[in-house]
Amino acid sequence: MTINRRHFLGTSAAAAAALAAPMVKADGHGKPRVVVVGGGAGGATAARYIAKDSKGEIDVTLIEPSRMYYTCFFSNLYLGGFKEIEDIGHSYGTLASGGVNVVHDWAIGVDRDAKTVSLAGGATIAYDKLILSPGIDFVEGAVEGWDISSQNAMPHAYKAGSQSELLKAQLMAMPEGGTFAMVAPPNPYRCPPGPYERVSMVAHFLKNNNPTAKIIVADPKPKFSKMALFQEGWADNYEGMVDWIGADFGGDSVSVDPNAMTVTIDGEVNNVDVCNVIPAMKAGRIAELAGVTDGNWAPVNAIDMSTKADPDVYVLGDSSQQGDMPKSGFSANSQAKVCANAVRGALTGSKVFPAKFSNTCWSLIDTDNGVKVGATYEATDEKIAKVDGFISATGESAELRKATYEESEGWYTGITTDMFG
Amino acid sequence: MIKNFVTLLPVALFALCAAGALEAEELGDTDAGQKVFKKCTGCHQVGSGAVDKIGPHLNGVFGSGAAEHEGYRYSKSMARAGADGLIWTAETLDAYLENPRALVSKTRMSFRGLKKAEDRANVLAYLRTFSDDPSDIPEAEPTAIAIDHDLDPAILALEGDPEYGEYLASECLTCHQSDGTADGIPSITLWEPEDFVIAMHAYKRKIRPHPVMQMLAGRLNDEEIAALAAYFKTLEE
C-alpha cells in the first residue's frame, strides 16, 4: 500500500497531465482505474467492494443507464401482490457517497487495445481493469412471432421495472375466467426457478381476484428447477389452475401472434388474455461488443472471473459462462466479491484470498410458503465447480415454509444493502 | 483466547478421562444431576406436577422438537430452530447447555451455560429420567446417545486473521447485515468470538440445524472459522 502511495505522489504531475488530455491510458499513470459496466448484483457489488476496500487507492467508475435499479429478484413477489414496486427499486446515491463515480450512460463500445470504454453520451473512459456485468439480452428470433417491438403486447418482464409494472397491469385487467400464458425460456437463463415462481405468484393473484382464470405454460424444457416443489405447491394451493406443457408434450414447439393475442403450442392455437414471453437469453450486448463472448456467453476463468479472451476484462453474473453456478443475483454478488478481491490485489498488491462461491435461491409458492435451493462452489482449472448443495423437501411443515419465506425477506435486505451500501 | 483455553481445559481433561465411558443410557450421575438442576429451578420445573414457569417444564423434553411444547410462548429464535428441525437429544441438549446462544442465537434462556462437561452429563442424566426411555417404553426414540461434541481447545485457541476474515465475511454479508439488523435472518455481529466459533462448528458438525449454514460452515476449515470470528470481533471495536 505504501508503494502505491509513493507511486501516486511520484506521478502526480503525470496524473495532472492525464486530466488535461483526452483519452489517456491510465495504465502506469497515476491511480489505477477500474471501470464497471452494469449496476446490478454483480456490478454494483464489485464497484462497492473495490471502492470500499481500496480506501481511495483505486478510481472506480460504474456505468449504468438506469437512475433507479429494480431488482429482478422479488419482482415476482410484486406481481403476486406481496411487494410494492417501490420495495424493489434502489438508487445509486449511497454508492456514489461511498466513493464510486456513478455515470448514468450506456457503454456502447470497448477498445481493448487502447483500454477504453466509449459511452453513448460521447465520453471515453480509460481503464486498467474492466468489469462487465451487463446481465442478459434476448436471442433474436428465439420465439417465433415475438421481437422487442412486441414487448408491450406480450411483456417479458425479465428485466424488472416498467416491464414488471406492465405485466402486473395486464394481469389485473384480465377478464373473468381469462387465460394467462407464459412461454418459458430454454436453458441456460437468468434465475432458473424464476418462471415457476412467477407462475405461482400469478396463480396466487388470480386465486384471490379471478379464481376461474387459467394459466398455460409452454416450456421448451422437459423439467425445471425445483420442479417437484412447484408442482406440489400448484396442486396443493392452485388446484386445476396451472397447465404446464413441457417439451415432452409439445411445449418446445411454440409461436405467438401479438396482434391476434394467440399462442400456438404444438399446432394448437390458444386465445389468451395475457402472454408473458420469456425468450432465450444471451450475455448483455456490451460483452459481445467487447469481443469477449464465445457463442451466447462470455467464458471466464473460475479463479477470478477474468475472461478467457482478455486478462484485464472480467465478466460477472448472468453474462458469464463459468461452470456450475446458476445465473442468479446471489451468484453474481458472490462472483463479484471474488473478482473484487483479485482486481484489488492485481492493482494495489493487496492480499488475494482463495476463491469461494455460493448461491441460494428462495422462491415463494404461496403466502408464507417459501422454498429454497443452494450450493457452494470452488474454482478449478476448468470451471466453477459445485462442492455441496441442498434443496427444500416436499411435504415440509408450514412453520418451516414460513421461516424460509421470512429468511428470504431477510436475504433481500441483506443483499441489496451489500450491493448498494 | 488464552482465557478461553484455560476455561476449556477441564472440559478437555474430562473428555479424555470419559472418552468411551459415556454410553447410551448412561449419560451421567442422576443424583449429582439433581443438584446441578438447582441452577435451573429458578425458571424450569420437572417431574410430576411440573408446569411452565419463566421457562417451559422439562418433562418429556428428550426426543421432542425445539419449541414444540404447546402452551409455552417461545422466542422467535427458538421457534425458528424448531422449524429448522432441531430435535432435543442428549447431543443437542448438551450443546445447548454448554452455550445456549451458540445453538439458538436469540434464545430467551439467559443462562451463560454449564462449562463443565460433567455437570452437563449429570443434569442430562437427571432430566432423562423424566422423558420416555426405550428401556421402559420400547417405541421411544433412543435419544440418550453418547456425547462426543466438545470442541478441541486448540480450535478455540486459534488466532484468526482478521483480513482473511473480512474477505470470508463478504460471503456472510449477502444475507446477514453488518450493522446487526436482524429481520428473518439473525444478526451475527457483536458475538463473542468463542460463541461464534462454537456455533459455526455446531453447524459444521450438523448438530445445529439449517441447510444453508450447515453447507457454508461445512467447507470452512478451523482457521477460516477463527478468521471470521476475529473479523466480526473487529466490527465490535
Residue B63, pLDDT score: 86
* pLDDT of A228 above 90: yes
The pLDDT of residue B193 is 87
Q: Which of A245, A279, A313 is the C-terminal boundary of a domain?
A: A279
CA distance B180 to chain A (A): 10
A190 in a domain, yes or no? yes
Q: Give mean pLDDT, residues B23-44.
A: 84
- CA B135 vs. chain centroid, Å, equals 26
pLDDT average, residue stretch A402-408: 95
> Do A37 and A87 belong together in one domain?
yes
Answer whether A124 touches B (CB < 8 Å): no
pLDDT in tens, B169-224: 999 999 998 888 888 888 888 888 888 998 999 999 888 889 999 999 999 999 99
Q: CATH number of the domain at B2-128, please?
A: 1.10.760.10
Minimal Cα distance from A329: which residue of B? B174
Q: Is B52's pLDDT higher than 90? A: yes
The reply to whether A238 and A322 lie within a common domain is: no
Q: Looking at the structure, do residues A257 and A345 belong to the same domain, yes or no?
A: no
Instruction: Look up the pTM and report it.
Output: 0.83
Can you give the three-state secondary structure of chain B, one letter per residue?
CHHHHHHHHHHHHHHHHHCCCCCCCCCCCHHHHHHHHHHCCCCCCCCCCCCCCCCCCCCCCCCCECCCCCCCCCCHHHHHHHHHCCECCHHHHHHHHHCHHHHCCCCCCCCCCCCCHHHHHHHHHHHHCCCCCCCCCCCCCCCCCCCCCCCCHHHHHCCCCHHHHHHHHHHHCCCCCCCCCCCCCCCCCCCCHHHHHHHHHHHHCCCCCCHHHHHHHHCCCHHHHHHHHHHHHHHHC
**Cα distance between residue A96 and residue A5, in whole Å:** 23
Give the mutation candidate from B76, B105, B175 for the A interface (greatest A CB count, under 10 A): B175
Which one-letter DSSP state was computed for residue A148? Answer: G
Total structural domains in chain A?
Answer: 2
The answer to whether residue A206 sits within a structural domain is yes
DSSP three-state, residue A100: coil
Q: Is the pLDDT of residue A366 over 50?
A: yes
The helix/strand/coil state of A134 is coil
The answer to whether residues A401 and A237 touch, using CB atoms and an 8 Å cutoff, is no
Cβ-contact A209, A174 below 8 angstroms: no
Are A67 and A151 found together in one domain?
Answer: no
Residues A242 and A327 reside in one and the same domain: no
Residue B9 has pLDDT above 80, yes or no: no
A349 touches chain B (CB under 8 A): no
- A215: helix, strand or coil: strand
Quick check: B1 pLDDT over 60?
no
- Beta carbons of B147 and B94 less than 8 angstroms apart: yes
User: B215–A375: do the CB atoms touch at under 8 Å?
Assistant: yes
Cβ partners under 8 Å of residue B78, min gap 6: B66, B67, B104, B107, B108
Lowest-pLDDT range of A125-139, A370-384, B9-23: B9-23
User: Where in the sequence is the domain holding A233, given as residue range(s)?
Assistant: 140-279
pLDDT the model gives residue A1: 37
User: What value does the CA radius of gyration of chain A take, rounded to a whole number of Å?
Assistant: 22
> How far is the alpha carbon of B162 from chain A, nearest alpha carbon, in Å?
12
- Chain A residue numbers with beta carbons less than 8 Å from the beta carbon of B182 are 410
Residue A5 has pLDDT above 80, yes or no: no
Least confident of A87-91, A172-176, A186-190, B209-213: B209-213
Q: What is the mean pLDDT of residues A245-265?
A: 97
At residue B147, the pLDDT reads 53
Domain B2-128 identical in fold to domain B158-236:
yes
Minimal Cα–Cα distance from A292 to chain B, Å?
Answer: 27
Contacts of A353 (CB under 8 A, 6+ apart): A341, B164, B167, B168
Ordered by start, the domain boundaries in chain B are 2-128, 158-236
Mean of the pLDDT values across residues B54-61? 92
Q: Is the pLDDT of residue A281 over 70?
A: yes
What is the per-residue pLDDT for B139? 63
Which chain A residues have a beta carbon less than 8 Å from that of B187?
A: none
Q: Which of A235, A254, A279 is the last residue of a domain?
A: A279
Q: What is the pLDDT of residue A73?
A: 98
Interval A323-348 mean pLDDT:
98
Instruction: Point out the residue among B85, B175, B214 whose CB comes nearest to the CB of A411.
Output: B175
User: What pLDDT, in 10s, does the model give residues B60-105?
Assistant: 898 889 999 888 999 988 998 998 889 998 889 999 999 898 889 8
Quick one: pLDDT at residue A28? 54
In a domain, A405, yes or no: no
* Non-local CB neighbours of B64 within 8 Å, separated by 6+ positions: B87, B88
Where does the pLDDT of residue B17 fall: very low under 50, low under 70, confident under 90, or very high at 90 and above? very low
Whether residues B184 and A410 touch (CB distance < 8 A) is answered with yes
Residues A324, A252 share a domain: no
Q: Is B215 in Cβ contact with A403 (below 8 Å)? A: no
Is A396 a domain residue? no
Q: Which residues of B touch A353 (CB under 8 A)?
A: 164, 167-168
Residues A111 and A237 in one domain: no
Residues of A in contact with B185 (CB under 8 A): 407, 410-411, 414
A353 touches chain B (CB under 8 A): yes
Same domain, A169 and A262: yes
ipTM of the complex, rounded to two decimals:
0.82
Whether residue A420 is contained in a domain is answered as: no
A89 in the same domain as A183 = no
CA distance A285 to A126: 20
Shortest Cα–Cα distance, B150 to chain A (Å): 25
A385 lies in some domain: no
pLDDT in tens, B121-151: 999 999 988 887 766 666 666 666 555 556 7
Residue A402 lies in a domain: no
What does the pLDDT look like over A35-58, one tens digit per residue? Answer: 999 999 999 999 999 999 999 999
Q: Is the pLDDT of residue B20 over 80?
A: no
Q: Mark whether A31 and A124 lie in a shared domain.
A: yes
In chain B, residues with a C-beta closer than 8 Å to the C-beta of A411 are 174-175, 184-185
Size of interface A-B (CB pairs under 8 A): 90
Smallest Cα distance from B8 to chain A, Å = 31
Same domain for A347 and A221: no
Question: B23 falls in which pLDDT band (50, 70, 90)?
Answer: very low
Q: Write the CB contacts of B66 (distance below 8 Å, at least 6 apart in sequence).
A: B74, B78, B81, B82, B86, B87, B88, B104
For residues A52-75, average pLDDT: 97
pLDDT number for residue A345: 97
Asked if B204 reaches chain A (Cβ–Cβ under 8 Å), the answer is no
| Residue at a domain's end among A248, A279, A310 | A279
CATH of the domain at A322: 3.50.50.60
Topology at the third CATH level for domain B158-236: Cytochrome Bc1 Complex; Chain D, domain 2 (1.10.760)
Q: Is it the case that residue B234 has pLDDT exceeding 60?
A: yes
Average pLDDT, stretch A267-283?
A: 98
Structure confidence at residue A29 (pLDDT): 60
DSSP 8-state class, residue A187: S
User: What is the average per-residue pLDDT within A151-179?
Assistant: 98
**Residues A245 and A176 grouped into a single domain:** yes
Q: Does residue A16 carry a pLDDT above 50?
A: no
- Please enumerate in sequence order all residues whose Cβ is within 8 A of that of A238, keeping only pairs 6 or more positions apart, or say none: A200, A203, A204, A207, A366
Closest alpha carbon within chain A to B77? A403
